[in-house]
């Protein structure tokens, strides 16, 4: 395999277990030569993340609550210390909405949980990008990638407030791409079709979503986490050096269909 990321240093957020999209991306980057640091959220998944990180000889595994600016700044500072003050890659694969808000009506979403979903799922990208900017500038540029979904562009039953959060995330990608491009920092997103992850199981009706996408997409096949890993490797590599502010759809072409 081509070592497109030889000598590159990356920070990966959002790994929970082997089925995580963030892990599929990390594994692909590591296979192509990248050195990676990882964050985890909460003691419940710490061991999983540490075991996975050890398998790719990670120099840093650290806790991060993306709702706390000081925590975000500390994590990026620790990554800088592990990587000699430079960072080439940031993968943002963090999202959260209360389970009850992915089952009932969007109209009934309470104010506090609305802001929680937007804070964790969208503003965290802004906070991480801001903290990472000096390290990427020191590296001569960098690439930031986040995970979005079609539910931010169209109404998807049961996706509810998470769709609104993804819409905010999509817009954030474009504004960050504009501002950070002056420092040769690219910002892109991947919109994946339904992938069987731990997070996906919290969405009511997920099996139905999965079946509909497979039935109606031009390629008529399921989406795997490794498919997203391949798309991410492209966007994060120099092969995409003139690609920024955009969304790559890894959904079998479902997004192109009218019905």
Domains of the chain: 9-252 (3.40.50.720)
Residues 88-131 pLDDT 10s: 999 999 999 999 999 889 999 999 999 999 999 999 999 999 99
Q: Are 142 and 136 in contact (CB under 8 A)?
A: yes
Task: Give the catalytic positions in this structure.
Answer: 149, 159
How do residues 136-169 score in pLDDT, each as one tens digit?
A: 999 999 999 999 999 999 999 889 999 999 999 9
Is pLDDT at 204 greater than 80 in this prediction?
Answer: no
């Amino acid at each position: 395999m081509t070592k497109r990321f030889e000598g590159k240093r990356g920070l990966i957020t959002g790994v929970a277990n082997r089925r995580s999209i963030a892990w599929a991306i990390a594994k692909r980057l590591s296979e192509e030569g990248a050195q990676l640091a990882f964050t985890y959220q909460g003691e419940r998944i710490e061991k999983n993340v540490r075991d996975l990180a050890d398998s790719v000889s990670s120099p840093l595994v650290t806790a991060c609550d993306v709702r706390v600016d000081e925590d975000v700044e500390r994590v990026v500072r620790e990554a800088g210390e592990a990587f000699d003050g430079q960072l080439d890659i940031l993968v943002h694969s963090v999202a959260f909405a209360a389970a009850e808000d992915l089952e009932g009506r969007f109209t009934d979403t309470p104010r506090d949980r609305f802001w929680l979903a937007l804070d964790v799922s969208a503003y965290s990208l802004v906070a991480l990008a801001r903290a990472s900017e000096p390290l990427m500038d020191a590296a001569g540029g960098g690439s930031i990638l986040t995970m979005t979904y079609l539910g931010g562009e169209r109404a998807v039953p049961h996706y509810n407030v998470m769709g609104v959060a993804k819409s905010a995330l999509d817009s954030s990608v474009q504004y960050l791409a504009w501002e950070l491009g002056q420092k040769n920092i690219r910002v892109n997103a991947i919109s994946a079709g339904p992938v069987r992850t731990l997070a996906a199981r919290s969405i009511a009706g997920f099996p139905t979503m999965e079946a509909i996408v497979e039935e109606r997409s031009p390629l008529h096949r399921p989406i795997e986490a490794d498919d997203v890993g391949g798309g991410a490797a492209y966007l994060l590599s120099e092969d995409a050096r003139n690609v920024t502010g955009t969304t790559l759809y890894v959904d079998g072409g479902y997004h192109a269909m009218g019905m």
